């Protein structure tokens, strides 16, 4: 009689906690933002700890990654590459578009563009799971975009936001390596050498990450509390437009490439949901508290929009079988069988 492995036994619990955490995250972030706004003197002195908090979030992401996650990228690289390329082209350019349309002031403009230049957010993986999308592909794209972020995020920010404010490319590059890349690598190593321990605490990891993100938002909002009353609505409209367009373009690109429905859903979330915690941290460190405001607002909104869209997707059946990154795309016969009602087969 075979025994159930600890990792398999822990998986359902981790999944349930991930679902609850990603659903509760908007509420946690809203509460944190309100506290930061009402009592800025409490949180403003904590600004130097933002980079450490982001490092904690990325370390937790590393703990969730396994070698098969990286193997999926190698087995079917073009779909993962499509998601990463779409994200790093669409979201930065959409940020510039939104900034131009709304006529945003320089500091806020830099913050919006910086959000667009950030890699994918970890919430996209859980939201994709809730939406019955291709979760393995989502994890692969998030991983790949995070690994590329030290180069692409400062480079794209320099290109698109350099006309608004001075962009310190090399300082941002080093900072992203320290606060994103290094913690992820350490997390992966810890997962490899202490997998049983990581499995035993996997249920609380989503909660810890959510609390760390809320902590970052409270500090960012506190730092720009004086500007929220005048610029808050404008920033919210810009963020909503940016996010909704990103979700739509991610889905449209996948549809144009004739990919199946689970893949379309995964790409939609990967393009539309950003690592806004990174954007807020970089904005606070290298620009101004006001430049960090779009990232804080994005942290709230993209979790709300992601959860809502996931609930809509989850209630809509699809006819196409998921793309298996190892086995390749479904054949035309597979798709016809999937679309044919069981009573007619």
DSSP assigned state of 343:
G
Residue 1 lies in a domain: no
pLDDT for position 332: 40
**Predicted confidence band of residue 272 (pLDDT cuts 50, 70, 90):** very high
Over residues 225-245, the pLDDT tens digits come to 777 777 778 999 999 999 999
Residue 125 lies in a domain: yes
Residue 88 lies in a domain: yes
The whole-angstrom distance between residue 137's C-alpha and the CA centroid of its chain comes to 14
Between 54 and 13, residue with greater pLDDT: 54
DSSP assigned state of 2:
P
pLDDT for position 318: 65
Q: Which CATH number fits the domain that encloses residue 250?
A: 1.20.1530.20
Residue 339 lies in a domain: no
Q: What is the mean pLDDT of the chain?
A: 81
Residue 79 lies in a domain: yes
The arithmetic mean of pLDDT across residues 187-213, rounded, is 84
Residue 112 in 3-state DSSP? helix
Q: In the predicted model, is pLDDT for residue 157 greater than 60?
A: yes
pLDDT for position 213: 80
Q: In the predicted model, is pLDDT for residue 266 greater than 70?
A: yes
Token duo for residue 178: 């320290």
**Domain containing residue 187:** 7-318
Q: In the predicted model, is pLDDT for residue 208 greater than 50?
A: yes
DSSP assigned state of 132:
T
Q: In the predicted model, is pLDDT for residue 306 greater than 90?
A: no
Over residues 92-139, the pLDDT tens digits come to 999 999 999 999 999 999 999 999 999 988 778 778 877 888 877 888
Q: In the predicted model, is pLDDT for residue 88 greater than 90?
A: yes
For the chain, the three-class secondary structure string (H helix, E strand, C coil) is CCCCCHHHHHHHHHHHHHHHHHHHHHHHHHHHHHHHHHCHHHHHHHHHHHHHHHHHHHHHHHHHCCHHHHHHHHHCHHHHHHHHHHHHHHHHHHHHHHHHHHCCCHHHHHHHHHHHHCCECCHHHHHHHHCCCCHHHHHHHHHHHHHHHHHHHHHHHHHHHCCCCCCCHHHHHHHHHHHHHHHHHHHHHHHHHCHHHHHHHCCCHHHHHHHHHHHHHHHHHHHCHHHHHHHHHHHHHHHHHHHHHHHHHHHHHHHHCCCCHHHHHHHHHHHHCECHHHHHHHHHHHCCCCCCHHHHHHHHHHHHHHHHHHHHHHCCCCCCCCCECCCECCCHHHHHHHHCCHHHC
Its pTM stands at: 0.78
**Predicted confidence band of residue 85 (pLDDT cuts 50, 70, 90):** very high
Over residues 166-197, the pLDDT tens digits come to 888 898 999 888 888 888 889 889 988 988 88
The arithmetic mean of pLDDT across residues 196-209, rounded, is 81
Give me the number of domains the chain comprises: 1
Q: What percent of the chain has pLDDT over 90?
A: 28
Residue 323 lies in a domain: no
The arithmetic mean of pLDDT across residues 204-223, rounded, is 81
**Predicted confidence band of residue 26 (pLDDT cuts 50, 70, 90):** confident
Residue 192 lies in a domain: yes
Residue 41 lies in a domain: yes
Q: What percent of the chain has pLDDT over 70?
A: 84
Q: In the predicted model, is pLDDT for residue 334 greater than 60?
A: no
pLDDT for position 267: 96
Show Cβ contacts of residue 196 under 8 Å, excluding neighbours closer than 6 positions. Answer: 6
């Amino acid at each position: 009689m075979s025994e159930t492995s600890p990792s398999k036994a822990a998986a359902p619990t981790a999944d349930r906690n991930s679902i609850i955490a990603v659903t509760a995250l908007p509420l946690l972030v809203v509460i944190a933002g309100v506290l930061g706004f009402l009592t800025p003197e409490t949180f403003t002195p904590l600004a130097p700890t933002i980079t450490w908090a982001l490092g904690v979030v990325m370390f937790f992401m590393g703990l969730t990654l396994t070698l098969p996650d990286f193997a999926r990228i190698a087995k079917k690289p073009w779909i993962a590459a499509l998601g990463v390329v779409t994200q790093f082209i669409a979201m930065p350019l959409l940020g510039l578009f939104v900034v131009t349309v709304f006529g945003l002031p320089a500091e806020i403009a830099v913050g919006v563009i910086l959000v667009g230049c950030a890699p994918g957010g970890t919430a996209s993986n859980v939201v994709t799971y809730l939406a019955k999308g291709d979760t393995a592909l989502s994890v692969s794209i998030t991983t790949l975009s995070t690994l590329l972020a030290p180069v692409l995020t400062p480079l794209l920010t320099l290109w698109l936001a350099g006309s608004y404010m001075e962009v310190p490319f090399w300082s941002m590059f080093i900072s992203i390596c320290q606060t994103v890349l290094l913690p992820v690598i350490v997390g992966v190593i810890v997962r490899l050498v202490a997998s049983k321990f990581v499995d035993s605490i996997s249920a609380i990891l989503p909660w810890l990450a959510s609390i760390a993100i809320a902590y970052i938002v409270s500090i960012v909002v506190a730092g720009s509390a004086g500007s929220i009353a005048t610029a808050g609505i404008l920033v919210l409209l810009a963020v909503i437009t940016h996010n909704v367009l990103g979700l739509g373009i991610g889905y449209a690109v996948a549809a144009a490439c004739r990919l199946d429905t689970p893949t379309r859903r995964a790409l939609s979330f990967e393009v539309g949901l950003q690592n806004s915690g990174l954007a807020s941290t970089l904005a606070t460190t290298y620009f101004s508290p006001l430049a960090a405001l779009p990232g804080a607002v994005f942290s709230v909104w993209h979790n709300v929009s992601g959860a809502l869209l996931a609930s809509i997707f989850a209630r809509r059946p699809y006819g196409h079988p998921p793309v298996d990154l190892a086995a390749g795309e479904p054949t035309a016969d597979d798709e016809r069988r999937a679309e044919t009602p069981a009573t007619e087969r």
